[in-house]
A and B are shown apart, each in its own frame.
Chain A
């Protein structure tokens, strides 16, 4: 992907649902990359505020996949242990993927518990739990029936692949 074709039209920023909340909107991410200032971006709030909605990629007149750039920045930030981001999205991602790796499907209660313990946000959304349990929107028991063997293999192999890179 050739990022140098970006001519700063700011269509990505105009359509970005979080550009008004983030310090560094997507068009500025592009400009910083042009200037070789990518390292600073790893500590920028936009990379963990980005909702992966892909509006930026869809509207870029030069066909730049801005959302893929955001994914790449997130991976680099995790790999290099950049500053702990607000809200701790990487922790959520780890908690989510951990239950998938164990059960083959999401197991909300375990995922939520792991995230809450890690983030210290113990009380967030707890007032909704009784209703959600009563309405069976979240299950108490872990999911069964998934092909756990294949999923475990996928996690093991992709972990080895990342380590080898």
Chain B
């Protein structure tokens, strides 16, 4: 995801600056452990963005969620703000604008401008867009798209000439946070999501979160072994699909890192 995001940003003329010394958001383990820790860990990176005077762009649903929730906690709960300040060693007011890379693509660059820059087309490839949970929930905090039927990914797929499938598991949870500790639960959840995409006729699933990606991709090996369901469903980042259609060489898009081969999707992209 890192590689394809950088390559797509460069192709679209977006300058991304990595905050020096950024640190982990604490993820699910953080908020399951301690409320102040869960706000202070993201705040450590947020203050770095504040010092740079820039928005913080995130391309992982889980990091995005934790950053947004931390800002919300800090701005609405004085006690949390004071404790976070104590933990950080400086005050942070919760004001840094946190944005998902998808929001930058859709709101800043815009679908029309992206479409004009495309050199390839998905040529009707059927794409099931999967948003997962943490982009859209809690929606009053993340404010991302529609919480039950988001269309951000679908709009991009459509612009790239793909067929954006209407399917029911867009915002179901893949269980990413429990992938190691409750693999049994996660195999059930991913089986149901990938199985539904297959039934909907998908050629691939488009995601915008590395946790969703690895979980839906890697767990297909376990689904095949334990449940006997062989989906062979490529799970691509939307930035990889976009990169292919922008004419970026597949080697620069991290496609070789996927566990289920995306070869049939790569082959389906034709010159526009």
Contacts and interface: CB of A to CB of B under 8 A. Distances in A.
Interface string B162-174: 0000000001110
B256 interface: yes
Contacts of A145: 20-21
B178 A151 contact: no
Measured as residues with beta carbon below 8 angstroms from the partner, the interface class of chain A is 35 or more
Interface string B52-92: 00000000000000000000000000000001001111000
15 contacts: A18-B189, A53-B133, A54-B133, A54-B137, A55-B133, A75-B34, A91-B181, A128-B259, A147-B44, A154-B37, A154-B88, A157-B86, A158-B34, A158-B37, A158-B87
A48 B175 CA distance: 12
B24 A128 contact: no
Given A131-B259, A137-B214, A51 B31 contact: no
A74 B29 CA distance: 11
Nearest to A56: B137
Interface string A71-83: 1001100100000
Interface stretch (A4-12, A36-44, A98-106): A98-106
Given A49-B182, A162-B34, A96 B137 contact: no
A97 B173 contact: no
A54 B89 contact: no
B26 A100 contact: yes
SS class, residues of chain B in contact with chain A: helix
Contacts of A153: 87-89
B221 A128 contact: yes
B29 A51 contact: no
Interface of A: 17-18, 21, 48-49, 51-55, 57-58, 65, 67, 71, 74-75, 78, 86-89, 91-94, 96-97, 100, 104-106, 112, 115, 119, 124-125, 127-128, 131-132, 135-137, 145-148, 150-151, 153-155, 157-158, 161-162
Contact of A93 (B24, B33, B41): B33
Contact of B181 (A52, A115, A132, A161): A115
Nearest to A65: B138
A161 B213 CA distance: 36
SS class, residues of chain A in contact with chain B: helix
B173 A105 contact: no
B36 A96 contact: no
B23 A146 contact: yes
Contacts of A161: 36, 83, 86-87
Contacts of A93: 28-29, 32-33
B41 to A, nearest CB: 6
A146 B172 CA distance: 33
A136 B26 contact: no
B24 A100 contact: yes
B139 interface: yes
B139 A154 contact: no
B8 to A, nearest CB: 20
Nearest to B171: A55
Given A51-B177, A52-B177, A151 B37 contact: no
